[in-house]
Structure 1
Amino acid sequence: MKRFINKWWRGRIAKLDLCPLPKALAPLENGRVLIFAPHQDDETIGCGGTLALLRKNGCEVKAVFVTDGGGAGGLPEGTVAIRKKEAAAALAVLGVDDLVFLDEPDGSFRNTLGFEQKIMAILDQFQPDWLFMPSVLDYHRDHVAIGQALYACWRRWQGTARAFFYEIWSPLPATWVVDISSVAELKRSALSRYELPLAHCDYLSASMGLAAYRGLYLSCNGQSGLAEAFVEAENNGIWSGISERMLALRIYFEKLLKR
């Protein structure tokens, strides 16, 4: 039996392409783009360059911040107001001024019927062509929970938006990359507006370093530079199963890290 299983796997592996890589995604032009960020800064870390390109292409961009950014405790009074102010400043650099704050609890987000009704209302009112959501493989629990909730809403929604997961604290098995070389300094400048979290963690360097790594994929598409990476979701039964496996993998990661 073991020999049969090994033979089966060898056969499957032999049929794989040698090295399939993410393709270059051309930014949408003159469309409507909706991005959901669990916290103030996630949007710029994950796809700040892409948002800047979309605005340059004439797209209308709405950014929805799910939690209030107040942290899970231990942060000084006034943190929520500071983080909202920093978010507005960062997105202004990217050319985005349509912001929504849902003020869910930071660090303890739980999906509810009321939350999903808010999301469905935003989708219905804005009618996006593209939708960006946080990765369900991310290390932060809020990111996972919010990504799952948003994906469920998008699947039920009657619109036709393409949906993309973006990476924040952990890389994705990307299917697309966007060349952000021409707007890299805008992304760097926008990230620098988040002074409060940057005082605790230099994710500015980390984020730009990840963009440099993702830029390696551009050479395979005849380009070079910096890039942001995404996984495009599909609204079918097959992809639903993949989403569940991604969540199972995230849970497995946590078990390993706690040993």
Structure 2
Amino acid sequence: MKSFITKLLQTKISRLQLCPLPAPLIPIEAGRVLVFAPHQDDETLGCGGTLALLRQKKCAVKVIFITDGAGAGSLDADAPAIRRKEARAALNILSIDDIEFLNEPDGSFRASAGFEKKVRQLLQQFKPDWLFAPSVLDYHRDHVAAGQAVLSCWQQCGAPGRAFIYEIWSPLPATHVVDIGDAIELKKQAISCYALPLSHCDYLSASIGLASYRGLYLPGKPGGNYAEAFSEIEKQASFGGLLQKMLNLRLYLESLLKRQI
């Protein structure tokens, strides 16, 4: 005999749409866009094509790099300076020159009262129409901690605009996709500026491959398309909201993987 919970789930499943695709997200014109990147390269890998299109639409784009890029001590002492130089070169290709480095510890970032105060100040001063933050569903703990802190500050301080999570290591349950076909070459060139990360991992192939896959979601454009995917976060903080659900899933995945070791 089926349990009540099983019957309830089956009823809900029977009411699902056939294939609910992420909605197209059209870059705004002459808006203000604030981007938080845990590491130098996350901004380009996650939303570089979208940022290039926003600049072409005359948007003011500011990128905040959260950590110092030291690689949690695994890189040479000159790595932070190299990664800052690479970041400037990459963002120059995307036509972005408004950059700030917060120099939090790479690999062990934790949101402090001082960091949250700085985020609130940036939100209140810049007043973004669009805010981009890393995914709290991501495998990298810096991304999880940074995304949760930034988005919680945005929800709590009543900042204007819309907030979106971008994907790096872990694909998102996307609510929106941006067609970046016209900016894919700029994204490739910008990623290629990050020689230090590319010497450790083929981020270029991975990122462009993900963009190609996301291109399948673009309506009426079969084959050879590229897109970046995002999840929009609701304005009001809620234990039942998307941000909290993603965070719960990330914590569950980690606990499950630990039991398998």
- What is the TM-score normalised by the length of structure 1? 0.96
Match in the other structure for 1:147 = 147
Q: Which residue of 1 aligns with 2:183?
A: 183
Give how far 1:249 is off.
0.8
Give distance in 2, aligned partners of 1:19 and 1:134.
26
Q: Is residue 177–residue 227 contact of structure 1 (8 Å, CA) maintained in 2?
A: yes
Q: Secondary structure at the match of 2:46?
A: helix
For the 8 Å contact 2:119–2:150, the answer to whether it is kept is yes
Q: Deviations over 1:50-89 (max 9, x none)?
A: 0000000000000000001111112111100000000000
Mapped to 2, the partners of 1:51 and 1:241 lie a distance apart of 26
- The answer to whether the 8 Å contact 1:111/1:146 transfers is yes
Q: Deviations over 1:102-159 (max 9, x none)?
A: 0000000111111010001111111111000000000000000000000110001233
Task: Look up the match of 2:137.
Answer: 137
Are 1:57 and 2:28 matched, yes or no?
no
Deviation at 1:15, TM superposition (A): 1.0
Q: Give the alignment of 1:43-192 within 5 angstroms.
A: 43-192=43-192
CA contact (8 A) 1:233 1:239 kept: no
Count the aligned residue pairs: 257
1:33 aligns to what? Answer: 33
Structure 1, 222-231 or 174-183: larger mean CA deviation: 222-231
- Residue 195 to residue 237, structure 1, CA distance change in 2 (3 Å): closer
8 Å CA contact 1:215–1:227 kept in 2: the answer is yes
CA–CA separation in structure 2 for the residues paired with 1:213 and 1:189: 19
Paired position in structure 1 for 2:201 = 201
Amino acid at match of 1:248: N
* CA distance in 1 between partners of 2:257 and 2:3 (Å): 32
Match of 2:19 in 1: 19
Contact 1:211 1:228 in 2 (8 A): yes
Stretch moving more, 222-231 or 203-212? 222-231
Moved more, 241-250 or 208-217: 241-250
Task: Show structure 1 runs of 5+ residues with no match.
Answer: none
Equivalent residue number for residue 223 of structure 1: 221
Counterpart contact for 2:152–2:237, Cα < 8 Å: no
Query: TM-score normalised to the size of structure 2?
Result: 0.95
**Residue pair 1:180, 1:227 contacting (<8 A) in 2 also:** yes
CA RMSD of aligned residues (A): 1.3
Cα distance in 1 between the residues matched to 2:106 and 2:175: 30
Secondary structure, counterpart of 1:61 in structure 2: strand
Tell me the distance in 2 between the aligned counterparts of 1:156 and 1:251. 23
Q: Identify if the C-alpha distance between structure 1 residues 10 and 240 changes in structure 2 by more than 3 Å, giving closer, same or farther.
A: closer
* Worse-superposed segment, 235-244 or 209-218: 235-244
Summarize deviations over 1:198-220 as a string: whole Å, max 9, x none.
000001000000000000000xx
Identity %: 62
Letter in 2 for 1:163: A
Asked if structure 2 preserves the Cα contact closer than 8 Å seen for 1:136 and 1:148, the reply is: yes
Aligned residue type for 2:172: L
Q: How far is 1:31 from its partner? A: 0.4
Unaligned runs of 5+ in 2: none
Q: CA deviation at 1:161?
A: 1.3
Distance 1:182 1:134, change over 3 A: same
